[in-house]
Amino acid sequence: MVPMAAQVVVVAVTKIQTTPAIAQNMNMVKPVLVALGLILSFLFMGATKAAVLPIERADLLYHSYEGDGVTIDGPSVLLRKNIAGKVSVSANYYVDTVSGASIDVRATASPYEEVRKETTVGLDYLNNKTLLSTSFTNSSENDFEANSFYVGVSQDFFGDLSTISLSYSKGWDVVGRRGDESFEEEADRQKFGLGFSQVATKSLIVGFNIEHISDEGYLNNPYRAVRFLDSTTDRGFSFATEKYPNTRSSTAYSINANYYLPYRAAIYGDARIYNDTWGIKAQNVKLGYIHPIEDDWIFEVFLRHYKQDKADFYQDLFSRPDEFNFMARDKEMSTYTGLTAGVSVSYEWQFSQTATFKKSAVHFEWDYMTFDYDDFRDATAQTPVGEEPLFGFSANVLRIFASIWY
Amino acid sequence: MGFLNKASIRLLLVACIATLSSGCASTFESINESINPLANLEPWVKPYERSNLADPIMSMDRNPVASAYAKHVFESREGARGADGGAGGGCGCN
Amino acid sequence: MTNMNTALATSILAKPLSANRMLQFLVTGAVVVALTIGSISAMAKPLSGEESPDFTLKSRDGGNIKLSEQRGNIVLVNFWASWCGPCRQELPAFEALYQEYQDLGVEILAVNVDDEAEKAKVLLQDIEVSFPVLFDTSGEVSQLYDVSAMPTTVIVDRDGNVRLLHPGYRKGDEKKYEKAIKMLMRE
């Protein structure tokens, strides 16, 4: 009774064709996955019945992000249907409409409007206590095209108290630049994930996750520029295109826990540490509380703190255009602290467990985010070069959606 | 592959042979009992005691359409990425 | 490209032993975990052929029901909970079986394992069943039968012996129960 799923993962991993650069990283990770795939083969000894598929539902979401002079909003539709208790198919259609200009755009160019469309189709297959998940995603906008596929295996064992999961994802990006027809670059990405979760008590579940991501190709944003001292200009500085390394490799480790409080409520938390070959180190921690009232209302609040140290080749201001081999001024690469606070409320209508539509709900979720940069300055400020105030901004994120379960 | 030392490789080989040769639980159990101190562990939360874990508020991902968007918001503005999933828990049915 | 490779190779070696040690720990840890769970038999203690353990539980009508008093009937004991999806799907299937076989000497005892009987009663207002529903709020009977999956169905023959122990429920499993009932009726 040797399981197919783990074997599939092992074979797939050993047969993956990669470029030399990514192969370096994979040499470390592949044997681990092979080992884990083989170990998964064990978990099937004496396997009896099954776990359950994801719940069938349909959701219609309106999302909105407003901050730093930018508004990005749009719909997201998610549908999921289970077939014969073994297979679950899902589809998501998501749109981002971008308008306005962020600090990066305000400092270098003029505002723009853009639309991004993303489609994902997924298939989950349940066999005994193994859940095999696959999905394919396409994201398309006028200057960027991304395709990726994902495969994951999740296995319940030890009386369904433990779950181990492995995941692999591969992505291909084609990067363009508005106004420059000849500009076309590529970037590839691979992700390897390992997760473990454990039911600790009747009310507590804990887990940890590790994810290793490798990128290769054109990895910077073609619209971001570095600034360097230039006494020949009025402002005292000029811009040049960023130059990033061709590869990036990162590892993130996270732990999480969910605890059920005696009066029917739950608290949850997660923490992550991250580092990569660009020198970025980050930590974040989140704590949340969910409070239902009767069968109808569910309230939730959370707080998340994020701290990041800059990439090795990041500087807000360089001395000259070719000072280093790699130069970045993208604020995502800088040293900064982010705080997010969120509240949400939902209301459910329970129909009948035997009816076609079992229940429906409406949800309202609002997050307030702040970003405070330690080494990214507001280059639009009218002050001497290098003495501009450190930049910071806040954003409001909304998620308003309706769901139906069938 | 420096981390896969001889001891680990031997363990793995023993394990693989045990699996592939049979599904023979008894052979495996005797090997296991001789090297593994955790061999007699029993699940401490029974399938019929999972009422709290099965509650939707204890779900790892209560609303996937919203959490996917929230994850995208963070990932596109932060330098860090990865390891933000979670599986397991739930009713453990079937 | 070659420069990249050298640079990358150097950087990989630059975070050397710590990564290797971590992976080594991971692999050996995973092996230990696998050995541990591999040794635990996922099957329930087989009770087939043995006398079914007797129990007395309060039913939703208020009275007590004792399993051994059902001798002479074929009994389907079903362990279920209001929070268990497959259990909820299974109840209407049992109701259909009950409607058909109740007069032919078949009894269904639905043992509810919710920690509060009220939760079961709320669900039963939604999914109506006519067979007896018993409450095992303390989990004692579930433990007695070593219930290893939700739901679990135990089929007991007329002499009180366990003849089928069926963990879990998938659409169509009720046909297996029906087959077992017919076979036991012929004995």
C35 vs A contacts (CB less than 8 Å): 42
Residue C135 lies in a domain: yes
Q: Among A333, A287, A286, A282, which residue's Cα sits nearest to residue A307?
A: A282
pTM above 0.90, yes or no: no
Residue C132 lies in a domain: yes
Testing the interface with C: which of A34, A49, A209, A263 to mutate, by most C Cβ within 10 A? A49
Min Cα–Cα distance to chain B from C177, Å: 16
Residue C7 in tokens: 């640079």
C167 vs A contacts (CB less than 8 Å): 48-49
CB contact under 8 A, C126 and A46: no
B14 vs A contacts (CB less than 8 Å): none
> What is the span of the domain harbouring residue C22?
2-39
C7 and C75 within one domain: no
Q: Please tell me the predicted confidence (pLDDT) of residue A110.
A: 60
pLDDT at A19 over 70: no
C92 and C181 within one domain: yes
Residues of chain C with pLDDT below 50 are: 1-2, 5, 7-17, 36, 38-44, 46
CB contact under 8 A, C28 and B46: no
How many domains does the structure of chain C reveal? Answer: 2
Residue C49 lies in a domain: no
C residues 40..59 contacting A (CB < 8 A)? 40-43
C123 and C70 within one domain: yes
Partner-chain residue, chosen from A61, A260, A276, that has the shortest CB–CB distance to B55: A260
> What is the domain-level CATH number for residue C141?
3.40.30.10
Alpha-carbon span C157 to C187, nearest angstrom: 9
CB contact under 8 A, B12 and A31: no
Residue C157 lies in a domain: yes
Q: Is C49 exposed, middle or buried (0-12, 13-18, 19+ CB in 10 A)?
A: exposed
pLDDT band, residue B91 (cuts 50/70/90): confident
Measured between CB atoms, does A124 come within 8 Å of chain B? no
Which residues on adjacent β-strands are paired with residue A269?
Answer: A257, A287
- The conformation of residue A246, written as its DSSP 8-state character, comes to S
Alpha-carbon span C26 to C23, nearest angstrom: 5
Contact A195, A131 (CB under 8 A): no
Alpha-carbon span A57 to A357, nearest angstrom: 9
Contact A115, A98 (CB under 8 A): yes
Residue of A nearest to C166 (CA): A49
Residue of A nearest to C85 (CA): A52
Residue C116 lies in a domain: yes
CB contact under 8 A, B87 and A207: yes
Q: Please tell me the predicted confidence (pLDDT) of residue B87.
A: 73
Alpha-carbon span A89 to B22, nearest angstrom: 35
Q: Among C73, C134, C79, C60, which residue's Cα sits nearest to residue C107?
A: C73
pLDDT at A233 over 70: yes
Residue A81 amino acid letter:
K
> What is the domain-level CATH number for residue A271?
2.40.160
Contact C119, C136 (CB under 8 A): no
3-state secondary structure of A307: strand
B residues 24..83 contacting C (CB < 8 A)? 25, 28-29, 32-33, 35-36, 38-43, 46-51, 54-55
Residue C52 in tokens: 């079914």
B77 vs A contacts (CB less than 8 Å): 332, 338, 371
Angle between helix B6-21 and A20-42 (nearest 10) = 50
pLDDT band, residue A14 (cuts 50/70/90): very low
pLDDT band, residue B30 (cuts 50/70/90): confident
Alpha-carbon span B87 to A209, nearest angstrom: 10
Q: Please tell me the predicted confidence (pLDDT) of residue C33.
A: 55
Neighbours of A377 (CB within 10 A): 23
Residue C111 lies in a domain: yes
Half-sphere exposure of A223 (CA within 13 A, CB side): 19
Mean pLDDT of A2-25: 47
CB contact under 8 A, A161 and B43: yes
Q: Where are the domains of chain B?
A: 6-35
Measured between CB atoms, does C137 come within 8 Å of chain A? no
Residue of C nearest to A128 (CA): C168
A residues 191..230 contacting C (CB < 8 A)? 194
Chains in touch with A (3+ beta-carbon pairs under 8 Å) read: B, C
Mean pLDDT of chain A: 88
Residues of chain C above pLDDT 70, percent: 75
Residue of A nearest to C119 (CA): A295
Alpha-carbon span B58 to A82, nearest angstrom: 22
How many domains does the structure of chain A reveal? Answer: 1
Alpha-carbon span A343 to A7, nearest angstrom: 43
pLDDT at A42 over 90: no
Q: Compare A261 and A106 and report the one with higher pLDDT.
A: A261
Residue C73 lies in a domain: yes
> What is the span of the domain harbouring residue A207?
4-405
Partner-chain residue, chosen from A25, A43, A245, that has the shortest CB–CB distance to C12: A25
Residue C47 lies in a domain: no
